Amino acid sequence: MNIPDVVGDLIVKKWDKQLGFVKGGIILFVFLESLILLVLEPNLLALAIKLYPKRTHEALLLLKILVLPFSFIFALLIAGCLKIFHLLSNKPHYSILQKSLTTSPFTLSTIPQSELIVSFHLKSHQVVTRIYDEYSLKFDNYIQTALNELNAKKVAQRKKEIYPATNFRLIHPPIRSESEVELHMAPINFVHFAILNDENASPSAKEYIQKQIKQTALNIHRQKHLHSDHPTINASNYHPLGIEIVILTNDGKTLLRQRGSNVMLSKMAWDVSFSGYCGEADRSDNELDLGLAVQHKLRKEIGILPADPSEIIFTGLHRNKVTGAIDMLGLWKTEATTEELVKFLTKDYPGTKRVFQTARKAEEPFVWDTKNLIVEFESIEISKAMKDGNLNLIPEALACIERGLEVTAQSASGLS
């Protein structure tokens, strides 16, 4: 983390996010007024005696009142400067990469808020999953009522409604072996996750779900093979497992995409080619087919590209330290050209390294209001595109790109 980030966190962050700019200014004003009066008290008293020797007390009070406007103006100036400094030190939130990567490759150590839980280089069949239905959270009438109330608020705000959908959450850290990785998961309805994350959701509904999770976690921990002391990837985790996929065209390009305004997390930030949560359609008996999840998400968010599913490579499991999002990172080398990819997005393609609006509607409505950027899949080119376009990529996207670059470099050198 750079110095402005640290200073901004220490000086401004508490005001900006908890008290607010106005309340912070009031506190600063009271503090400055007390400080100024404390320092000037002897001088003001001397001046009061000199001007009105017979009414010293009233004169001193009048002089203190006259000092008030100057304290107020001074407080506003300082608060305004701090606010500007805070905005500069946090825009974009992940802009450290734009400064440090124009001449160097991506490294996870330079990605703020990023936690690579485990890295690997595996095909779909090497990711082994186990689903425990007995630890699914209940979707009952109480949750349905809370959902109806939340959706009513969304309709009033002209936002997209939330619909029930089965997703899957990790209840144990990944178990890594030489040739595969094993994931233990339990079903969770997207509604549970949405209520816990949406500020407009009922507090009592949030508490109700948290109690469910706590009780379920106690039951899970009684199973020795599922007990976990990991601080975040454990039975109390409620974030559905997502996927982050970098698409590569046969001419070496990739698609970066801005997230929509109706997504749950990181609205309007930039992401990799496509992403999303694994669902019931990706399931086969007690297993989750992540390769199938990747295929489904590509079709829904972009379209059907000429691509071989056996070319899907999973590169790691990542956690966003800010949002808590947990994602399987991946890379898919397709047989599509840049032109074939662009046809699914717009009629008027402005060329590489130029941002353009999504003009064609995919199956998934949450990507209809997105923007796009085609760029060479190369560290320096991606970094320059980020800087030139002022793109604030989310940590999981940056980690996905970094791991993808590493994997392609290993493949080019004959390593695996």
Domain boundary among 70, 89, 108: 89
Pick the more confident residue, 90 or 127.
127
**Same domain (yes/no): 11, 131:** no
Tell me which of 21-30, 154-163, 187-196 is least confident.
Answer: 21-30
Q: Does residue 226 fall inside a structural domain? A: no
User: Which of 287, 282, 284 is CA-nearest to residue 298?
Assistant: 282
Assess whether 133 and 244 both reside in one domain: yes
Q: Report pLDDT digits (tens) over 381-400.
A: 998 888 888 888 899 999 99
Residue 163 lies in a domain: no
**Is residue 83 domain-shared with residue 111, that is, in the same domain?**
no
- What's the domain range around 83? 3-89
Is position 195 within any domain? no
Residue 180 φ/ψ, nearest 5 degrees: -160, 170
**Same domain, yes or no: 277 and 375:** yes
Q: Which of 76-80, 92-96, 227-231 has the highest mean pLDDT?
A: 227-231
Q: Are residues 58 and 114 in the same domain?
A: no
Does one domain contain both 124 and 46?
A: no
- Say how far apart CA 209 and CA 166 lie, in whole Å: 15
Asked whether residue 151 is assigned to any structural domain, the reply reads no
pLDDT given at position 413: 60
Please tell me the predicted confidence (pLDDT) of residue 246: 97
- Assign residue 367 the CATH number of its domain: 3.90.79.10
On the question of pLDDT at 106 being above 60, the answer is no
Residue 129 shares a structural domain with residue 55: no
> Does some domain include residue 211?
no
Domain count, the chain: 2
Q: Which two tokens stand for residue 152?
A: 């009513």
Give the 3-state secondary structure of residue 178.
coil
Buried b (16+ CB within 10 A) or exposed e, 115-134: bbbebbbbebeebbbebbee
Residue type, position 189, single letter: N
46 falls within a domain: yes
- Worst-scoring range by mean pLDDT, 77-86, 254-263, 304-313? 77-86
Residue where a domain terminates, one of 33, 60, 89: 89
One domain, residues 253 and 284: yes
> What pLDDT band is residue 24 in, cutting at 50, 70 and 90?
low
Q: Give 44-88 pLDDT, tens digit per residue.
A: 677 767 777 767 777 777 777 776 776 667 667 776 666 565 544
162 in a structural domain: no
Are 374 and 299 in the same domain?
Answer: yes
What are φ and ψ of residue 207, in 5° steps? -65, -40
- Mark whether 348 and 322 lie in a shared domain: yes
Contact 112, 395 (CB under 8 A): yes
The answer to whether residue 220 is domain-embedded is no
